[in-house]
Amino acid sequence: MSGITIALSKGRIFEETLPLLAAAGITPTDDPEKSRKLIIGTNRPDVQLVIVRASDTPTYVQYGAADLGIAGRDVLIEHGGAGLYQPLDLNIARCRVCVAVRKGFDYARASQPGSRIRVATKYTKIAREHFASKGVHVDLIKLYGSMELAPLVGLSDAIVDLVSTGNTLRANNLEAVEDITTISSRLVVNQAALKVKRELLQPVIDAFAGAVKP
Amino acid sequence: MRWVLPEYFQDVLPPEADKLEHLRRKLLDAFRLHGYQLVVPPLVEYLDSLLTGAGQDLRLRTFKLVDQLSGRTLGVRADMTPQVARIDAHLLNRQGVSRLCYCGAVAHTLPATLTASREPIQIGAELYGHAGIEADIEIIRLLAEVLRIAEVPTSRIDLGHVGLFRALVGRAAMDDDAVRDLFGLLQAKDVPTLTERLAPLDATVRSALLALPKLYGDASVLIEARRVLPDWPEVVTALDELDRIAAALPGLPISVDLADLRGYHYHSGVVFAAYGGHSPSALALGGRYDAVGKAFGRGRPATGFSLDLRELVQRLPAPDLPGAILAPASGPDGLNEAVRALRARGEIVVETLPGHEGSWGETGCDRQMVWHDEQWLVVSLEGEGAAHG
């Protein structure tokens, strides 16, 4: 398409992106929470939004199916970032990636260099690199949701997951024992689009940069 | 599932195969007319020689096998550029300039981009023996000619210079791992992480490295670069080269990206990439790689570019080519001469074989020869021609 396509995921990223879009003079014509439409128009005829699953945002932008996208750094690390520019930290949708275990589990002992630990996670790459840097052998169990359940039912010793308030962990008798990294969302840009459609994309990127809150 | 091909390998069928071959010939003809001589290196070579001067990336992307004759490890070429550099360094042994071109299939263990085949058809041109920017200008003009011949819609040629990054990290005394890390971050224009990593560095180098990812756009970027980058001789030389190249290419869709360092481990000067045809990644990549010849035992200045013909062809609109003409198996005097005359004009003429009436549309015929008023005429193929046409 000759205009701009922006890939966004529903929920927190969409809500916290609205002020940035507004700074670029873009207002969506539908609310993805209410509409079932996956392609949402805006007040600007040359700008459309596509609503994708958060972990798919980098793929859409890499394929050029969207020119711009907003993706959490967790998702970008898992994706690898090939074919993408990620020029801006938008400082939205902030949270941490943590190791969490059942209360009372001796994590310090279980994670000594040379020991072996079973970890359930959606973030296999982040978990693999984290435990490798500590010199801990890790057996990874890839799960797609409800990670908190795994240590409770004995599926794993620990989980690696996003933590924002810690309420879900507390409700399930788990505790965060180690921070791996902090996460916020980034603007990602298709490399070819930035070259070929720079006149169109640059004002949006600049408007986002100007509207990022410290 | 017996006839299923492995992922990212494909057959090219008519009419796409015709389109691909047509473009291959046109491009090789253009290279020839510019003085680039064709070389045909082998599909398989000893691995050491295939990977000479290449990076880790190419090593992982190369299929390997064991040679039953010598017991040595062979590689299926994943890139023809080192092969052509080997030919220039060792076989031709020319003292002056040598201009070479090539076209052939290469194999990748993993596709290079999301949309790429694992068996790209690489076509390219290389210019050896001249270190001045005249060679860079010639090779970029030739790339522009390729884009023109292929009629790539909305194309753009983006220039960069590896010398800038080398100069900056050279003064910062960093180890190889740190340099590789920075290189990756610059390629992704990952300013947030760069800011973190560069914090311990000297202020001049830090602010210059942080400026690079923002220095992209039209040629006016070079003016901004002189303002924000340190005026070290290596930096000034690199910017001068880019200025002179941009000035020597008027009328071409040239842009600049000073953080674009593709393959900096073997590139040494001006690098460039072509975008267009709504492709989500670069269509052609190229640049100067003066150090590769040295790895083959004879250092020679070198620059060139290559592209994947498959990817390029997919990005182009289908040409509106006329169909074939069906000729009867026999007829009044002059049939053979009439057929020959049509073929001499470039028309495809298919001769009828008995027992296949009604199937000529499948072979691409949309017209036929008929004997009328004592002469052979070409008229549209009745019935089936209409159904297929």
Position B384 confidence tier, pLDDT thresholds 50, 70, 90: very low
Question: How many domains are there within chain B?
Answer: 2
Residues 6+ apart with CB under 8 A from B171: B202, B205, B232
Do the domain assignments include residue B39? yes
Both tokens of B60, joined, read 């992982």
Position A56 confidence tier, pLDDT thresholds 50, 70, 90: very high
CA of B55 to nearest chain A CA: how many angstroms apart?
17
Position A46 confidence tier, pLDDT thresholds 50, 70, 90: very high
**Which domain range does residue B332 map to?**
324-388
Both tokens of B237, joined, read 């030389």
Among residues B282, B314, B346, which one ends one of the domains?
B314
Query: Edge-to-edge, what's the strand order for the sheet holding B284-288?
Result: B37-38, B98-105, B121-128, B302-308, B284-288, B270-275, B156-161, B254-257, B216-217
Residue B321: pLDDT over 90? no
Q: Contact B115/A84, CB-based, under 8 Å?
A: no
Same domain, B140 and B170: yes
SS3 B56: helix
Q: Which stretch of DSSP H or E encloses residue A190?
A: strand A185-190
CA of B275 to nearest chain A CA: how many angstroms apart?
6
- CATH at B284: 3.30.930.10
**Tens of pLDDT, residues B301-314:** 999 999 999 999 98
Same domain, B227 and B105: yes
Position A164 confidence tier, pLDDT thresholds 50, 70, 90: confident
Q: Which residues of A touch B115 (CB under 8 A)?
A: 63
Q: What percent of chain B has pLDDT over 70?
A: 96
Nearest Cα residue in chain B from A81? B188
Same domain, B369 and B283: no
Q: What percent of chain B has pLDDT over 90?
A: 62
Both tokens of B132, joined, read 């001045």
Per the model's pLDDT, the better-predicted residue between B36 and B331 turns out to be B36
* ipTM (interface pTM): 0.87
Do the domain assignments include residue B10? no
User: Rounded mean pLDDT of chain A?
Assistant: 94
pLDDT of residue B259: 92
User: Rounded mean pLDDT of chain B?
Assistant: 89
Do B152 and B192 meet the contact criterion of CB atoms below 8 Å apart? Answer: no
Do A155 and A146 meet the contact criterion of CB atoms below 8 Å apart? Answer: no
Residue B382: pLDDT over 80? no
Do B150 and B316 meet the contact criterion of CB atoms below 8 Å apart? Answer: yes
Provide the Cα torsion A51, A57, A60, A64; round to 10°: 100
Q: Give percent helix, percent strand, percent coil of chain B, each to the nearest 5.
A: 40, 20, 40
Nearest Cα residue in chain A from B254? A195
**Could you identify the residue written with the tokens 């024992």?**
A177
Same domain, A74 and A34: yes
* pTM of the model as a whole: 0.89
**Which domain range does residue A39 map to?**
4-94+184-211
Do the domain assignments include residue B34? yes
Which of A9-13, B48-52, B343-347 has the lowest average pLDDT?
Answer: B48-52
Both tokens of B181, joined, read 């890390």
Which ranges of chain A would DSSP assign to H, the alpha helix? Answer: 12-23, 57-62, 73-79, 107-110, 124-134, 149-152, 167-171, 191-196, 198-211
Q: What percent of chain A has pLDDT over 70?
A: 100
B362 DSSP 8-state letter = G
The C-alpha R_g of chain B, in whole angstroms, comes to 26
Do A137 and A131 meet the contact criterion of CB atoms below 8 Å apart? Answer: yes
Both tokens of B388, joined, read 């297929």
Position B175 confidence tier, pLDDT thresholds 50, 70, 90: confident
Same domain, A72 and A128: no
pLDDT of residue B265: 66
Residue B385: pLDDT over 50? no
CA of A146 to nearest chain B CA: how many angstroms apart?
30
B213 DSSP 8-state letter = G
Question: How many domains are there within chain A?
Answer: 2
**Tens of pLDDT, residues B42-89:** 999 999 989 887 767 788 999 999 999 999 999 999 999 999 999 998
Residue B155: pLDDT over 80? yes
Same domain, A175 and A136: yes
- Taking the CA of residue B49 as centre, how many other CA atoms within 13 Å lie in the half-sphere pointing to its CB? 19
pLDDT of residue B180: 87
- CATH at A34: 3.40.190.10
**Tens of pLDDT, residues A89-133:** 999 999 999 999 999 999 999 999 999 999 999 999 999 999 999
Do the domain assignments include residue B200? yes
Of A63, A84, A89, the CB nearest to B192: A89
Q: Residue A10: phi, psi to the nearest 5?
A: -65, 165
Both tokens of B10, joined, read 């494909």
